[in-house]
Structure 1
């Protein structure tokens, strides 16, 4: 028997994977999603900024957004890391943009410019954007995760991609997603800061949302019979994790395994404390 069978789960509830069907709509996460979607659908807002502490759920929120967008209207390119030179980013965009009409791809099957030839890359980018916009009526969405890694120069050059547009509508929307220091970096770069139309910071979960988050993941995983954690146990989970989803996942996963190993019917405050002490002792 595994801990899944023991707790009557159909799947693991607290894995640290980017699984969108576990997405929990706290007030902050829902607002972040709504703001990002609003920026994309408007098509004329240039850029958006999403920040949050490590483990706050930025990447999962971003993934829920991309999954909600109609591919017949949007071409989405997502950079999981952003610590690259601008020419490398531009070269990658050109390779990844695809047209829904295969005939367009065949008609425009030109040789890619050299990676280091910024001028030729920009010309090729403009041509692809014009085809995407005028021929396919689609809008490019670029998302840069871990954007705090980007240098000031690269941030500025990526911003310049929004200059490529028609007379009435932008060809693309850009999102920068990253840790809190990204806000200050952008604020220093006035030319970038002024292009960001909407921004949002994901706060840690409060106690109420922490409890709902844990119960949500347990329910999605298939356990609906009875509560697993006592009220005092939940309070200690909240205090020890500061309401950070990634930390909550780690502690709850350890707690479920601990409960299985010790054949517990529920997990108490004292059980959670044993796990916390073990983490601290071995860290």
Structure 2
């Protein structure tokens, strides 16, 4: 597979839907932040395209156009692709682990959590990079889509719970899209069951609602029902996204209860 810089997407990148919930926000995140890589099977007359960021990848095109070893750049990643890629992925890698995401619609505000004494919840600042780097290693995955702890701190897209300068929990925008954000949260293994991650999510949610009210951003051309020349024409049309049900707050929030990752509009 041939790599391409984040800010130089191939013309066929419009095959990926934008403005949809879930990890599809990865496409817009890569374009907006510069964190990520595009991949194609060849330089011209493309048949397969992928985009990677952090530990996620989106894959589209004609699975019959690739040899299994060409998928080596996707090893160890969570790959989102149509079922037609399963035989190719099964041949390319030793083991595949399915990951089903459950989506719930957020329609009402929850009860604010009580933060333990001595804990402060606040928005990340650039100078918080070293504290993030020293946090529990089990939380290290959360800043991968920002290029590392310093990148996430500089983005100001996260909230953290601190005690004496130590990061106990964190919630941040994982993938920032034009309509939806995929939000991740993580807690130090020794500090769980105190609702610290929930407090961080609520802080981030207030920031999000103020900053993104009436905001619209379009980073890619609107996907057409026909894929670009060279890509498999059996690809399904992009999904339609229903308007948010919670018009008072202007957002939908699907939640993955298994991983603690949240999607927010």
Return the TM-score normalized by structure 1: 0.21
Taking CA–CA contacts closer than 8 Å with sequence separation of 6 or more, which of the two structures ends up with the larger relative contact order? 1
Q: Specify which structure has the higher proportion of helix.
A: 1
When normalised by structure 2's length, the TM-score is 0.22
